[in-house]
Structure 1
Amino acid sequence: MRSNKKAVVVGANGIIGGNLIAHLVELGDWDIVGLSRSGGYSKGRLKHIVVDLLDAADAKAKLASLTDVTHIFYAAYQDRPSWAELVAPNLAMLVNVVNAIEPIAPNLEHISLMQGYKVYGAHLGPFKTPARETDANHMPPEFNIDQQDFLEALQKGKAWTWSALRPSVVIGFALGNPMNLASVIAVYASMSKELGIPLRFPGKPGAYNSLLEMTDAGLLARATIFIATNPQCGNQAFNINNGDLFRWSELWPKIAEYFRLDVAPPLPMSLNVIMADKEKLWDRMVKKHSLLPTPYSDVSAWGFGDFVFGWDYDFFADGTKLRRAGFHDYIDTEAMFLRVFDDLKTRKIIP
């Protein structure tokens, strides 16, 4: 028996969108449409549409057939050099996809917006911890807030609801993604081993002892569906995290042990700079270890690593609101990292 649930996943090839699609496929009672600029493999109840969401006309034309959509899951992101420059494209993509689908989908039930701790100013410097959904907004520019304002205004008087999801750093498998910390660590460690040097934490000195949390991509996918399909969660924001806290000073030696590396004292350095000349080394490793022939630019995002390893302040939020709503999954963060490293090895991405 087929259900009448049809999901549109915007940003289908990222860590968040890809893992969400995998979860929806596993559930078995959803029709799924993935939207992206590069497309993907369609099979069974999953199909992909190639669309430029920065082009309102292209979005309207490509999405005109989606009249039976019940849920929109928005997890797209366009990177730009500055915070101010992020606003226009990231707001436009959400506006264009919602304006293309919402007027033609009479059975629309929910629009899920993926945000993050930028809403709390976490990217700007030390912020109030634990951050809570009720915390006041900070000085703009901030595209996450503009996106939520758009949905809130559009929803007034409508039957459908929205949600704003706020994970920490999302950990999972995805290549060519600008925010993939697990690959940053795995490739950095693999190269350290190839060069016969110990594993050093490359971030700011204070970052080694800051209190942090992460969000497993699978847990995030399950939480996303829970929120989107439970009416009590409508028109609200939710922090989503693994449920535990850690410090790199405790986790880093365990990562080194996983890769069979010694640990040396931290040494502040920009990965974006120090790893810029390592493409030839990577290509040699691919050949030597018979790895999947993956371009160096796709296996790691050094700038994002610098960003995360630069947090010399506590970085965590209160996740109890979602648990009070009825979602009780949790993930051990150390085990999560090791599982993703295992996955990267199985896929022959790293030795």
Structure 2
Amino acid sequence: MASAIVTGATGITGNAIVHHLCKDPSYTKLYTLSRRNPGASDPKIQHVTIDLQGSADNMATHLADISAEYTYFCAYMAHEDANELCRINGTMLANFLTALEKTGAIRNLKRFILTCGFKQYGVHLGNCKQPLLEDDPLLENDLGGRGAGAKWPPNFYYTEQKILRDAASRHGNTWDWIVTLPEDVLGYARGNFMNEATALGLYCSVSKLLPGSELPFPGCKAGYFAFNTWTSANMHARFCLWAAAAKKEVGNNVFNVTNGDTQSWQDLWPRLAKRFGCRVPQPMFPNGGIPDTPGYMGFDSKTVRMPGAHPLTARAEDLGVSHNPSTEETPTLFLQIDPEKWAKRPDVNDAWVRLRDKYGLDQTAWEGATWDFLTFALGRSWSCVGSMSKARKFGWTGYADTWEELEETFRVLEREGVLPSAERLKADFEM
């Protein structure tokens, strides 16, 4: 029988992994590590309150007598500065591994699973070569000919993976590692509103109460028609458990982990409108939906020109597009409705208060919603499609329908009092 350690248990990916470990009869003991207790009630679970930003010695004190064959590392600390992001998250992982060495728990480790993401490919920097493959070159060299000495910004996923590889090597590779790369994770963890579904569901619910019940797509026209892949937190958790128990050849590999379908907002957005009882605007992009144009019907728009170059420039020569203007333009986000300004509008807040009071909704969800994440998720003009071929070749067969996973996440948010019931919303506020 197996045991596991899960760090970042209060986050969306960590919470889902804990949930699936509890259901797996092959695991008899789970240690959840986080600064606050995630509140999961299962006799398998022993929670350890720990600050992963602390020293290795401090962690070792908290982790005394704790040992497991499998570790699922989902801890993450956000920071706007790329260098600080590397330092903070690299230090957390390095100190945690050192703590396991100090307690001796590292000797019982069989496989260490680290959750990263599609920033591995630079999707946060601009357009990348599609589809995204795990053996694509890392963005570590000169920045696409943009001047002598210009470099790609540091990537904290690269930092973490080097730390993990080096730690395994120090121990003679007696244990191995797996890195997962999910994208735009759909899921829920109580008290954690850093996810796309919460902000999206709130936007749709409030839009139902605004004049005309229209649901304009906040982002750009190109992004509306681009293709993307999403990752259900439950799908990711199932993959992690499969990867932990998979054959030896699976170890020491990086894997894309997506639902397995390819989706786009052009398909999802009309479904969202129907679910929340809203109208699809005609036209959706009256001002063209391109950078530096006015906002939708009087709303504030937002244009963000990003520093650096499209990651595609790193592959331009071998792709034969070195002199293609699309590789030379500045990466730009555009939103015909700025989500952050939208959420501060008096009419929007009045509509939210009506919903909150009528359905007893959670005010902290509104205050903690990550509108800035929608800026990136909806404002980008480029596709983000990750191939699942590598995982399939190793035997992974999991699949999830992205719309069904998004709708299931909404149902959970309804049960938790974050969103109103869509059925009640439509019945109470008929168009």
SS at match of 1:238: strand
Letter paired with 1:147: E
> What is the deviation of 1:144?
0.3
Is 1:98 matched up with 2:97? yes
| Aligned counterpart, 1:297 | 367
- CA–CA distance in structure 2, aligned partners of residues 72 and 102 of structure 1: 14
> What is the deviation of 1:176?
4.3
SS at match of 1:32: strand
Letter paired with 1:137: L
- Per-residue CA deviations over 1:38-59 (Å, capped at 9, x if unaligned) read 2233531112211111111332
Letter paired with 1:96: N
Is 1:145 matched up with 2:158? yes
- CA–CA distance in structure 2, aligned partners of residues 270 and 163 of structure 1: 38
| Aligned counterpart, 2:343 | 275
Greater Rg by CA: 2
Contact 2:210 2:351 in 1 (8 A): no
- CA–CA distance in structure 2, aligned partners of residues 258 and 331 of structure 1: 19
- CA–CA distance in structure 1, aligned partners of residues 43 and 358 of structure 2: 38
The structure 2 residue matched to 1:224, chosen from 227, 232, 240, is 240
- CA–CA distance in structure 1, aligned partners of residues 371 and 117 of structure 2: 20
The structure 2 residue matched to 1:209, chosen from 209, 217, 225, is 225
- CA–CA distance in structure 1, aligned partners of residues 87 and 210 of structure 2: 43
| Aligned counterpart, 1:193 | 208
198-207 or 122-131: bigger deviation: 198-207
| Aligned counterpart, 1:119 | 120
Say if 1:44 and 1:128 are closer, same or farther in 2 by CA, change over 3 A: same
- Per-residue CA deviations over 1:197-228 (Å, capped at 9, x if unaligned) read 31111112321111111011111101011111
The structure 2 residue matched to 1:40, chosen from 38, 41, 44, is 38
Say if 1:287 and 1:301 are closer, same or farther in 2 by CA, change over 3 A: same
> What is the deviation of 1:107?
1.3
98-107 or 320-329: bigger deviation: 98-107
| Aligned counterpart, 2:174 | 159
- CA–CA distance in structure 1, aligned partners of residues 183 and 371 of structure 2: 18
Say if 1:61 and 1:339 are closer, same or farther in 2 by CA, change over 3 A: same
| Aligned counterpart, 2:405 | 336
> What is the deviation of 1:174?
2.4
Say if 1:212 and 1:54 are closer, same or farther in 2 by CA, change over 3 A: same
SS at match of 2:337: coil
RMSD between aligned alpha carbons?
Answer: 1.7
Say if 1:94 and 1:229 are closer, same or farther in 2 by CA, change over 3 A: same
> What is the deviation of 1:332?
1.0
Contact 2:193 2:365 in 1 (8 A): no
- CA–CA distance in structure 1, aligned partners of residues 101 and 269 of structure 2: 46
- CA–CA distance in structure 2, aligned partners of residues 49 and 297 of structure 1: 28
Contact 1:64 1:100 in 2 (8 A): no
| TM-score, normalised by the number of residues in structure 2 | 0.77
> What is the deviation of 1:293?
5.7
32-41 or 321-330: bigger deviation: 32-41
The structure 2 residue matched to 1:322, chosen from 391, 401, 421, is 391
- CA–CA distance in structure 2, aligned partners of residues 270 and 178 of structure 1: 19
Identical aligned pairs, as a percentage?
31
Contact 1:32 1:45 in 2 (8 A): yes
Is 1:108 matched up with 2:93? no
Say if 1:190 and 1:319 are closer, same or farther in 2 by CA, change over 3 A: same
| Aligned counterpart, 1:251 | 268
- CA–CA distance in structure 1, aligned partners of residues 101 and 181 of structure 2: 23
- Per-residue CA deviations over 1:84-133 (Å, capped at 9, x if unaligned) read 22111111111111111245112110111111111111110001111111
Contact 1:102 1:108 in 2 (8 A): no
SS at match of 2:131: coil
Is 1:170 matched up with 2:168? no
SS at match of 2:177: strand
Across the two proteins, how many residue pairs are aligned to each other?
A: 346
| TM-score, normalised by the number of residues in structure 1 | 0.93
Letter paired with 1:34: T
> Gapped runs of 5+ residues in structure 1?
none
